[in-house]
Structure 1
């Protein structure tokens, strides 16, 4: 996780430069789709190796191939595009530091993070309540992540055409995953997981797409890093609170989750007005 935290802001900055002409929503959405595909294939490869009477050593050796290919591609990209900022030549911002709209978007992201239940809590609820049988829980998760990746791609393309309205619509719909997963059973819970997956995909694509134009090229990686820090702290605090609420009242937990995510929509509106 530390390695991911170190490389993520730089990766987001380079993607934003590449997306200047291609469309940032599309670029971030495509990246999220590939990310979800890799996150799905990795465990499947390990499972297949173990199923075929292999060992973890063999499985990790196969994953090493993917890691080496990644390093090779990054090395090639560094030779082809030694200065990614040049992909956004001619685009300058006159603001110093970070704009008011950026801070509003950070607040919106914090609201979403704090109200977004982690899958570990959802899976625990499924198992404890019996609303979803144990062997099916990983399948629900896989479906959610797969649709989240596809959704990130589609919504990213729409974002490039319609702008903030798509972002608001997606987060409004995904905000209602909580009552479905915590009160529903079987297919209702699956619908909730689909909304959860869509929200997860949107967090990693649409949020970055909307703040990228607000950041100067020389501070863009810093801006993404600061955003991720605020998002991560809010996620931790929200998860902690929801863990406590789960033992007290699931109804209050659901209300807490939905209200915080809906508050993000208000912050989005203020951010747009501040631009």
Structure 2
């Protein structure tokens, strides 16, 4: 049997170095698209969007980012072109963002917001599968947590950069989003280099996990535990508020100037990184039970975020960041532990598709309720998250197969 020490040698890079370099790709990509997302709500509002339009577009964007993985995930498993799909998806994102700053019509801006999210759909199952192979050695929770924390460095720098350019230009979105083309070019260059260095990341996992020991049904179907886990995640996502709606509230209720919104988003991304690291390490120690914190955080977001008090509304956005940290790291780590390597991209695609449908429902639901009754919004979200907690308790997703 090939040893764990030999596998990284064939990959020409150790597993932790691969995680860090891939984290650097994500850092630069987050610089680009999180910089844009930090002002999506105010940007759409400046073009005449209502709260319902902001909620539907941002929700539809997340649905596209997740739902289209139903296609890109199986495609990645069938073709095994993980690197090609990753590069194509990143390319679509880094092209869409600078264009968002120069269009002058609402329909075009909405199209580009969704297009940027489509890029994420194209690349994510392939990217997560590539990363999952290295985390088989580093530890699922820790590996995905470090990757997510590096994501958030870019998610912090991007909004700060956008905020600075907006302040200097008097709120002109063109230069603020145009400057994000520079890290976009760096994303593509680094991906090409990393692909040359590690053409076959699966070598990491083959060195420590014989194929016969991987979980899953003998006929190749996805395991039952995966489906019950996806149901829990869909439930908690259906009651999750988008930052687009939170920022819309801050600007339209005159709680914050547009230029301050990216700063708040940057702070939320810093909280995201801390939450990812904390829950990632806890996951490797205690298993998926740590996910019980996600519905609690999600229920607290509208309670705090939609008040008329600045400090409380800011706290709501920071809690939103903590919930995002759990969603973007530990949820992905659990999928990798539930599904064998040969079906993992498909699983990531299906998992994201289920959650994407819930995101669309959640975006439209919270946007509509916000326009009619904030107390009703808070109540509905609380009920949905309570149901998610019950579902988690009933389904009891199994612990990770091994603690590393």
Q: TM-score range by the shorter chain?
A: 0.7 to 0.9
Q: 2:300 corresponds to which residue?
A: 176
Report the Cα distance in structure 1 between the residues aligned to 2:151 and 2:382, rounded to whole angstroms: 27
In structure 1, the partner of 2:203 is: 86
1:248 matches 2:375: no
- The Cα shift of 1:221 comes to 0.7
Contact 1:46 1:56 in 2 (8 A): no
| Pair 1:52–1:273, CA change in 2 (3 A) | closer
Deviation at 1:258, TM superposition (A): 2.0
1:105·1:267 contact (CA, 8 Å) conserved in 2? no
- Residues 226-246 of structure 1: per-residue CA shift (max 9 Å, x gap): 111111121111211222222
1:271 aligns with 2:395: yes
| Residue 48 of structure 1: how far off its partner (Å) | 4.7
What do residues 175-194 of structure 1 show as CA deviations (whole Å, max 9, x unaligned)? 31221112361222222222
Is 1:28 aligned to residue 129 of structure 2?
no
Report if aligned partners of 1:17, 1:85 keep a CA contact under 8 Å in 2.
yes
Provide the C-alpha distance between the structure 2 equivalents of 1:67 and 1:182, rounded to a whole number of angstroms: 34
User: Residues 57-76 of structure 1: matches in 2 within 5 Å?
Assistant: 60=178, 63-76=180-193
5+ long unaligned stretches in structure 1? none
Cα gap change, 1:273 to 1:203, in 2 (>3 Å): closer
Find the counterpart in structure 1 of residue 362 from structure 2: 238
| Residue of structure 2 in register with 1:121 after alignment | 245
Q: Which residue of 2 aligns with 1:15?
A: 131
User: Of 130, 133, 156, which aligns to 1:40?
Assistant: 156
> TM-score normalised to the size of structure 2?
0.61
Q: Which residue of 1 aligns with 2:256?
A: 133
CA drift of 1:50 comes to 6.9
Deviates more, 1:239-248 or 1:107-116: 239-248
In structure 1, the residue matched to 2:313 is 189
* Count of residues paired in the alignment: 273
Tell me whether 1:201 sits opposite 2:335 in the alignment.
Answer: no
Pair 1:13–1:126, CA change in 2 (3 A)? same
Answering whether residue 200 of structure 2 is matched by residue 77 of structure 1, we say no
Tell me: CA distance 1:247–1:29, structure 2 relative to 1, closer, same or farther (3 Å): same
Question: Does residue 148 in structure 1 map to residue 272 in structure 2?
Answer: yes
What is the RMSD computed on CA atoms of the aligned residues? 2.7
Q: Deviations over 1:78-131 (max 9, x none)?
A: 23332222221225224131122111111111112211111122222233444x
CA distance in structure 1 between the aligned counterparts of 2:275 and 2:318, rounded to whole angstroms:
10
For the 8 Å contact 1:178–1:258, the answer to whether it is kept is no
Shift of 1:52: 6.6
Secondary structure at the residue paired with 1:93?
Answer: coil
**Greater RCO, 1 or 2 (C-alpha within 8 Å, sep 6+):** 1
**Residues 262, 206 of structure 1: alpha-carbon distance in 2 compared, 3 angstrom cutoff:** farther
Q: How far did 1:6 drift?
A: 0.3
Question: How far is the alpha carbon of 1:46 from its aligned partner?
Answer: 5.0
Are residues 234 and 78 of structure 1, via their aligned partners in 2, closer, same or farther at CA, if it must alter by over 3 Å? same
- In the alignment, is the contact (CA less than 8 A) between 2:288 and 2:398 conserved in 1? no
Distance 1:103 1:155 in 2: 22
Gaps of 5+ in 2: 1-116, 400-404
In 2: Cα distance, 1:263 partner to 1:9 partner: 28
CA contact (8 A) 2:297 2:320 kept: no
Q: In 2 relative to 1, CA 175–57 (structure 1 residues): closer, same or farther, beyond 3 Å?
A: closer
